[in-house]
Structure 1
Amino acid sequence: MIYFFRNYFYILFILSTFTFISCSKDSDDPVPQETEITVTTSDFSITIDENPTNGQVIGSVQGSTNDGSVTFSITEQTPSGAFSIDASSGELKVADESLFDFETNPTITGIVKVTSEPVSEIALATIFLTDLTENPVYEGDIQLKTQQEVIAFGAHRTKHITGTLTIGETQSNYSNITDLTPLSGLENIDGNLYIVFNGELVSTAGLENISSIGGDIAFVENLSLERIEGLQNITEIFGGLSLQTNLKLKTFNGFNQIRTVADKIILNDNPEILNLDWLSNLESIGQPISMSYNTKITNIDGLSNLTNMGIGFLSIQENPSLEDLDGLENVTATVTHLLINNNDSLLNINGVRNITPTEHVSIQDNELITNLSSLSNVVSLNYLTIEGNDSLLNLEGLNNLQNINNDLSIGGNLNLKTLTGLSGLTNVTNEMKILGNYRLEDLCELRNFLTNGNLGSYNVYGNFFNPTKQDIIDGNCSL
């Protein structure tokens, strides 16, 4: 009996243990099946005009996955290197614009791999080119007012313009042009190059292949222009060079090779230009330079290789940081007008000692100039104006001046005490005005002239001493 019960309990124990194990297994979650990764894409096809520009967007290959994101890559393309792809977005861009030529490659193809590791799919990219009429020579003048017009004109691969090329708007309607690289095929312009009234253009890169311009080069009111570049093949300008109201312009890599300018150089209202070093190879200009309202120019030493200057107006006005004119010291020339006015930091005018004015000399409102010794070449003028030079002490340097065919005006020179320097004067055809020189006390330098010379009218007042014409003749000419 004992044996029976012992076996009975043993069987119950085995059964209960089996049941427990079975129940435990039944309560476990089932092992999940692994999700299959899928990638989907589709072939890409587009038609575009031939001759696009590098970086131009072509379109995007589509691709997606059920597991995260996909990446895009090009496995092959014909011709090689024609386009690139953004690995994240699938965006296609022109990589080598020279390959997008209808006559050479009417169709450009490539295989794009769309991947979500370890799965990938393939898409065929096909780019059909539209044949454009190419015009290597453009007859007459052309104005490009918008970026779209620049691109369209560049697509014709024009190499030669027989007239004038104007890039930008007219008057104050600023263009939206930002990029001149579509014009990279241009080689010759028979007329002028005007880059004017552009509000967004930062650089002139794209003009690298221009080797000759038959007329003027002008940059006017380009409000965002910082860099003139791409004109490094220009060594001679057959007209004038004009830079006016370019508020951010400071870099001139495009002008480093210029040796001659047939006409005038005008530099007006370019507040970021620091110097003229970018004209260091300039040797000859057909007319004198005109410089005004260039607030940061401190020197013109970059003109030190300039030796030849034609006749005309040499005008240096309203350049408040300009300290000297030494860059002109190698120029021997005759000019009609010498106008040096309102240059607040100008210490001397020694740089013009070899330049001879023949009609008008105006030295006005240069606060730091102390003498006029560089004017020893002046013999005869129509007008002489010496006004508002607060540090000027005398007129030495004008000793060779004999004849003034119109007016002589000396006024508002606050520290001028004598008229020493006018001893050679023999004729003032119209009026002599000596006004408002508050410390002027000695006019004896005029005694011989007023006694023996020819004078139209005598007007002296507002000075520290104001003798009459007869007083000076009689010797009562100083205090």
Structure 2
Amino acid sequence: MKKFFIFLSFSLLIVFISCSKDDEQMEDSQIENSLKIVEITDVLASTANVKIAVSNTLDFIEIGICWSEGMNPRVDENLTIYSNSQGPEQIVKLFGTSPEKKYYVRAFAKTPSGILYSENTSFTTQGLCSGGVTDQDFYLRSQAEVNKVGTMGLCSVNLLTIFSDNVDDPIVDLRPLSGIKQVNYLSISNNNMLASLTGLESVINVNYLGVFGNNSLANLQGLEGLRGSLNELNISGNEKLTSLSGLENISLIVKDLDYNGSLFVTSNDSLENMEGLNGIREIFGTINISFNRIFHSLKGLDNFRKFDGEDFSIYSNGPIVNLSGLESLEVINGNFIMYDQEEFNSLTALSNVTEAKYFYFRNLDNLTNLNGIGNIDTAYTDELQFYLWQNQKLTDISAFSNFSSLGVLSIIESPVTDFTPLTNITRIRYNLSIRNVDISSLRSLSNLESAGRIFLDNLTSIENLEGLEGLRNIGMFGSSPQNGNLEIYQCKNLTNFCAIQGLFTEGTIDNDFVANSNAYNPTQQDIVDGNCSQ
């Protein structure tokens, strides 16, 4: 811990992160004397310097700033910069803002007692253009139309679509557009003769960027002027694109009222990796990386630390064998979905992930273990969901050894035979589902006390339910009508249900017990009456 009086103006030594769930504001009376923003200077369209003062009496662990377009930004909800220098004076830039918008900033200090915030301070970013601003939309379908717009002295436009459908005058040169600095919606699509984006170097601010079906384009050089944040990025169907170079200065993809903060990289037949997106720190929305025929690595996402959105999907690409490139990822606040990657065999690049919600792995035919996902903080595991479906070589689930609770564990048609890593599990909040798995015993579930639902199907080797003696609650969570059920089907050798007698006589089950197509199919009352085996 550091105790001294410092002035901070935030600059290049930064990390974009959102903080932990224990965000707790201290008493307002402490704020004025301990932490305040002194001034905000050097405000431009996408950057600003923030100077804060921290009292020498404040015992802090970390300090930084957070900002948003609404008042009272918080570190767990909004964009955040931490200081990672210890000097008495620090200069670090806040960046990623948009032109001509008002922002609110608060300094914060993490302390042993919680998180202390300063009062709100606001600033308004500068515009990029002093003239040449129009809300007009431009649809450019020929080189002549590109040349014409280039003579108009434009600096900022609302919509700019560059789409060659004139075979007699295809678009081949974007240099006439070199004066444009700001575009709300920029789409470059189906320009088969366009081999370069040279001419767009002056474009600094874009909300939506789409590059589709440009079959002569090998890279995205020409877009180096883009910096800070985008609201959506879609790179799809460019058959000769080998590199995303040109996008290195983009650090954030953030949703707003018009766009959902998504990154799509799909159906680019010559793209091998994510090189060019090295500046990305956070994405708030959806990530879709799919159908890239020779794609084999996530290298290029080396600085990506936080996903805070909906689905992060990787599927049907070329020979990806691991997640190399995601070693810096710490937070997956959304659904991590991966399927139909036949050569994939390792999750170890996720070893730094400490906060996560949902993993779905299907048809990863060479994945043998889950090593890499075992470091998730126990504060999040009660909601953590795992769907392990049809992974033909997955035998090792030792990554679960450190967990005492899960939200969902669903294993279908995967050759897991050793379930001892589940020994410490006492609670599965929503659903335990084991189907078509060659498991001979449930003894590894001996500490399981409660579950939202249990579904066992086609476990042909089990003869009894030993291991479930401690189960005392099948409780309803969520809205599914199956929640609160205990269902056991097609276990051809299962004749003894006595292990769950205590659930019915001493515990609670909120919905139905169903046994069907097993060697013995007692009712709940049969088990209560002692007729629990055959």
TM-score (norm 2): 0.57
1:255 partner SS: coil
State the distance in 1 between where 2:371 and 2:429 align.
24
Which shows bigger deviation, 375-384 or 440-449? 375-384
Aligned residues of 2:386 and 2:410 also touching (Cα < 8 A): yes
Tell me the residue number matched to 2:373.
Answer: 328
Aligned residues of 1:248 and 1:270 also touching (Cα < 8 A): yes
Tell me the residue number matched to 2:321.
Answer: 274
State the distance in 1 between where 2:318 and 2:496 align.
42
Tell me the residue number matched to 2:210.
Answer: 166
Residues 123-152 of structure 1: CA distance to partner in whole angstroms, max 9, x if unpaired? xxxxxx997342352321112113468657
Which shows bigger deviation, 375-384 or 256-265? 375-384
CA deviation after TM superposition for structure 1 residue 351, in Å: 1.7
Tell me the residue number matched to 2:242.
Answer: 202
Aligned residues of 2:320 and 2:343 also touching (Cα < 8 A): yes
Give the ranges of 4+ consecutive aligned residues of structure 1 lying more than 6 Å apart after TM superposition. Answer: none
Tell me the residue number matched to 2:409.
Answer: 361
State the distance in 2 between where 1:317 and 1:375 align.
24
Tell me the residue number matched to 2:112.
Answer: none
State the distance in 2 between where 1:135 and 1:357 align.
57
* Residue 316 in structure 1 maps to residue 361 in structure 2: yes
State the distance in 2 between where 1:314 and 1:230 align.
27
State the distance in 2 between where 1:144 and 1:131 align.
14
Q: Match for 1:145 among 189, 192, 201?
A: 189
CA deviation after TM superposition for structure 1 residue 299, in Å: 1.4
Tell me the residue number matched to 1:383.
Answer: 431
Identity among equivalent pairs (%): 24
Aligned residues of 2:195 and 2:217 also touching (Cα < 8 A): no
* Alpha carbons of structure 1 residues 391 and 221: separation in structure 2 relative to 1, 3 Å: farther
Tell me the residue number matched to 1:40.
Answer: none
Max Rg structure: 1
Q: Tell me which amino acid in the other structure corresponds to 1:273.
A: I
**Number of aligned pairs?**
342
Which shows bigger deviation, 198-207 or 328-337? 198-207
* Alpha carbons of structure 1 residues 474 and 244: separation in structure 2 relative to 1, 3 Å: same
1:262 partner SS: strand
Residues 133-181 of structure 1: CA distance to partner in whole angstroms, max 9, x if unpaired? 4235232111211346865753132342331111115xxxxx5253124
Aligned residues of 2:347 and 2:371 also touching (Cα < 8 A): yes
State the distance in 2 between where 1:187 and 1:146 align.
22
Aligned residues of 1:276 and 1:300 also touching (Cα < 8 A): yes
1:302 partner SS: helix
State the distance in 1 between where 2:458 and 2:178 align.
65
Q: Match for 1:220 among 266, 273, 288?
A: 266
CA deviation after TM superposition for structure 1 residue 278, in Å: 1.8
State the distance in 1 between where 2:387 and 2:220 align.
40
Aligned residues of 1:144 and 1:150 also touching (Cα < 8 A): no
Tell me the residue number matched to 1:402.
Answer: 450
CA deviation after TM superposition for structure 1 residue 354, in Å: 4.5
Residues 225-258 of structure 1: CA distance to partner in whole angstroms, max 9, x if unpaired? 2232222233333444331222321133312232
* Alpha carbons of structure 1 residues 185 and 373: separation in structure 2 relative to 1, 3 Å: closer
CA deviation after TM superposition for structure 1 residue 184, in Å: 4.6
2:434 partner SS: strand
CA deviation after TM superposition for structure 1 residue 212, in Å: 4.6
Structure 1: where are the runs of 5+ without partners? Answer: 1-128, 170-174
Residues 261-313 of structure 1: CA distance to partner in whole angstroms, max 9, x if unpaired? 3335322223411011221222223224222222111110111122222x4x3
* Residue 473 in structure 1 maps to residue 531 in structure 2: no
Higher helix residue share: 1
1:179 partner SS: coil
Aligned residues of 2:196 and 2:222 also touching (Cα < 8 A): no
Aligned residues of 2:337 and 2:360 also touching (Cα < 8 A): yes
State the distance in 2 between where 1:233 and 1:314 align.
25
* Alpha carbons of structure 1 residues 375 and 316: separation in structure 2 relative to 1, 3 Å: farther
Q: Match for 1:337 among 361, 368, 385?
A: 385
State the distance in 1 between where 2:525 and 2:445 align.
27
Tell me the residue number matched to 1:464.
Answer: 519
Q: Tell me which amino acid in the other structure corresponds to 2:496.
A: D
CA deviation after TM superposition for structure 1 residue 203, in Å: 3.0
Q: Match for 2:282 among 217, 220, 236?
A: 236
State the distance in 2 between where 1:222 and 1:395 align.
48
* Alpha carbons of structure 1 residues 186 and 247: separation in structure 2 relative to 1, 3 Å: same
Aligned residues of 1:427 and 1:454 also touching (Cα < 8 A): yes
* Alpha carbons of structure 1 residues 402 and 176: separation in structure 2 relative to 1, 3 Å: same
1:167 partner SS: strand
Aligned residues of 1:372 and 1:398 also touching (Cα < 8 A): no
Aligned residues of 2:468 and 2:500 also touching (Cα < 8 A): yes
Q: Match for 1:426 among 472, 487, 494?
A: 472
2:313 partner SS: strand
* Alpha carbons of structure 1 residues 378 and 186: separation in structure 2 relative to 1, 3 Å: farther
CA deviation after TM superposition for structure 1 residue 325, in Å: 0.9
State the distance in 2 between where 1:270 and 1:321 align.
15
Structure 2: where are the runs of 5+ without partners? Answer: 1-172, 255-260, 476-483
2:485 partner SS: strand
State the distance in 2 between where 1:394 and 1:203 align.
50
1:463 partner SS: coil
Alignment of structure 1 residues 179-198 onto 2, 5 Å: 179-188=218-227, 189-198=229-238
